[in-house]
Amino acid sequence: VAMQIFPPQKLGAVLGICALVIMFAPAIGPTLTGLILAKLSWRWIFWLFIPFLALALIFAMTSLENVNNITKPHVDWLSIIESAIGFSGLVIGASLSSRDGWLSVPVLSALIVGVVVLGFYVHRQLHLTEPILNLRLFKIPAFRTGALLVMLDFGIILSAMYLLPNYLQNGLLIPVALTGMIMLPGGVINAVTSALAGRLYDNIGARKPVMFGLVIALIGAIMFACTSEHSSVGYIIAAHVILMIGCPLAMSPAQTSSLNSLNGLESADGSTILNTLQQIVGALATAFATSFLELGQKNINGTAAVKFTNGFHYGIYFTLVLVIIALILSFRLQDRAKETQDIN
């Protein structure tokens, strides 16, 4: 929708606001959850969703307009069934891995079914005249690079945001309500940086903000890797804030760069691809972080806090690997002059 109603020269700022909303939600979630759990049961987390969902439904019914032409393409039901089974298999397998282990029968069965069915799904999309998901977009270098960077950045954020509150509670033995407050500064910085990153794209393109953001994220991840069961709250907040400056600084320009390389109806397919893969990457990143967390706890002797801190380090090593891969990939982004030439 944003790409339909805003010109290309303003798209960075607009998608920066979109990124603000998307990235602020998981960043502020632990703070709100901590406050709720300090006074109420976990069920209230779900009861409190209801008024927000009702409000969103009212806005959707009364204020959301179709800004593009309705084309009514053919719906391939086999593709829908394949996507539902394939993606569900990956998510279910990744989710069960923290309980049963990656080599257990339920996990392997779900993952194998997911991968095989997705293989059929991809093959079908590439050969249909009107595919459900236009995977041919990955042939466009700018979209492919930007999309991969968005996925990696999302994995960095979700793995770190899963590990950090657990470390605060089980490594530093901090109460749940205080854990949420400790994570609040990083969430606020995340939102502000997301908005500013979009405007940076409009001025200088994606390459420099993404690379600079990933370098900053690398510093934050290294700071987390250097923690102990005696680390100060101030140090943890500083590391979190640094990570929450770097990740959104890379996320918004990468997303804008990928979508800005598309034209017309391609933008809808590109947006769908990004949204779909973010959910899959989020599930996989959290599952891998959990596995490394458990592995680290088993590989050291000591108190429960010492073991959990070591597990937190193992999980952060996984996050570090994602940051390094994303940083290497960012060198493939085009500079501002080249982007402008391609758009024109």
Query: What is the DSSP track for 162-175?
Result: HHHHHHHHHTS---
Of the candidates 44, 53, 103, the residue with the CA atom closest to the CA atom of residue 291 = 103
- 125 token code pair: 């999309």
Please report which confidence band the pLDDT of residue 342 belongs to, taking 50, 70 and 90 as the band edges. Answer: low
- SS3 at position 1: coil
Instruction: Read off the pLDDT of residues 157-173 as tens digits, 9 standing for 90 and up.
Output: 989 988 998 999 999 99
- 274 token code pair: 């990004």
- Calculate what percentage of the chain has a pLDDT beyond 70: 96
- Calculate what percentage of the chain has a pLDDT beyond 90: 45
pLDDT of residue 226: 95
What is the C-alpha end-to-end distance of the chain, expressed in Å? 21
Of the candidates 245, 9, 285, 259, the residue with the CA atom closest to the CA atom of residue 147 = 259
User: Quick one: residue 48, left, alpha or beta (phi over 0 = left, psi -120 to 50 = alpha)?
Assistant: alpha
Lowest mean pLDDT, pick from 134-148, 225-239, 250-264:
250-264
Q: What average pLDDT does the segment 206-234 reach?
A: 94
Per-residue pLDDT at 319 exceeds 50 = yes
d(CA 128, CA 289): 37
Number of residues assigned to the chain: 344
Instruction: Read off the pLDDT of residues 29-63 as tens digits, 9 standing for 90 and up.
Output: 777 887 888 888 889 989 998 999 999 999 999 98
- Output the average pLDDT for the chain: 87
Residue in the block written with tokens 């779909």? 276
pLDDT of residue 27: 66
Cα-Cα-Cα-Cα dihedral sign, residues 48, 51, 52, 54: positive
Per-residue pLDDT at 72 exceeds 80 = no
d(CA 318, CA 311): 11
pTM attached to this predicted model: 0.83
pLDDT of residue 197: 83
Per-residue pLDDT at 343 exceeds 70 = no
